[in-house]
């Protein structure tokens, strides 16, 4: 609708006493203001509808949390235990750290429960384990005193402290009968029945 002139009365439009009603005049600036107000209102409604759709859209589920490090890393005895001579205070063996999936895990410490022994690793802890091929580590076990050395270790284990983005855990890994037999032989060879101090 263009408002360039007076608005003509419609049919059957009469004023008092049957005379035609005078034409209704609308100033052009008022029409422009009304159009602007209507356009702004329509834009506001469209924006509100868009915002409402955006805020109520279905959210994707959050990603699952990373597994605990002890659930994603396995420790395996790979053999190659050195055979110490009587009086030797240290010997070595190899373990493999493997991870199937998940974020990288840091091996913070490798230890064992006997106060008569201490453990070191190469590479030196802390070191990182990632998905893919296993990472091997040479474990050096040092004998402080033959008194209290567990000669017949039935189920010896390594204490491994692991950390990833989810947690830090201290886990005991039993490395199996082959490790138990090799460890008993190495300790008996290093510490014969006559205690050495």
DSSP letter at 14 equals: B
Give me the pLDDT at residue 195, please.
43
17 lies in a domain? no
**CA separation, residue 61 to residues 14, 58, 65, 87, 90 (Å):** 68, 9, 12, 61, 53
Q: Are residues 144 and 91 in the same domain?
A: yes
| Cβ-based burial of 54 (10 A; exposed 0-12, middle 13-18, buried ≥19) | exposed
Asked if 88 and 127 sit in the same domain, the reply is yes
Q: Is residue 80 part of a domain?
A: yes
Residues 112 and 160 both lie in one domain = yes
Q: What is the pLDDT of residue 38?
A: 74
CATH number at residue 126: 2.60.40.10
| Residue 196 pLDDT | 42
> Does residue 45 lie in a domain region?
yes
Across the chain, which has 197 residues, the per-10-residue mean pLDDT values are: 57 58 61 72 76 76 86 91 87 94 92 90 94 94 85 77 94 91 89 61
What integer pLDDT is reported at residue 160 of this predicted model?
95
Same domain, 99 and 36: no
Are 87 and 179 within one domain?
A: yes
H-run or E-run covering 98: strand 90-99
99 plus 167 within the same structural domain: yes
Q: Are residues 103 and 49 in the same domain?
A: no
For residue 76, what are the β-bridge partners? 96
Residue 40 and residue 123 in one domain:
no
The reply to whether 86 and 124 lie within a common domain is: yes
- Domain enclosing residue 105, as ranges: 69-190
């Amino acid at each position: 609708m263009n408002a360039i002139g007076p608005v003509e009365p419609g049919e059957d439009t009469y004023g008092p006493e049957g005379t035609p009603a005078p034409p209704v005049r609308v100033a052009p600036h008022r029409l422009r203001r009304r159009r602007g107000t209507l356009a702004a209102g329509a834009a506001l409604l469209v924006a509100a509808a868009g915002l409402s759709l955006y805020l109520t859209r279905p959210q994707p589920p959050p990603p699952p949390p990373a597994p605990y490090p002890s659930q994603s890393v396995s420790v395996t005895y790979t053999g190659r235990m050195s055979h110490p001579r009587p009086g030797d205070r240290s010997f070595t063996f190899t373990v493999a750290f493997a991870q199937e999936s998940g974020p990288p895990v840091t091996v913070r410490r490798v230890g064992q429960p006997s106060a008569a022994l201490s453990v070191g690793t190469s590479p030196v802890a802390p070191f990182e384990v990632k998905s893919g091929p296993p990472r091997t580590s040479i474990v050096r076990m040092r004998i402080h005193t033959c008194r209290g050395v567990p000669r017949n270790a039935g189920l010896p284990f390594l204490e491994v402290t692991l950390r990833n983005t989810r947690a830090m855990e201290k886990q005991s890994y039993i490395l199996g009968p082959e490790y138990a037999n090799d460890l008993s032989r190495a300790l008996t060879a290093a510490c014969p029945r006559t205690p050495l101090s």
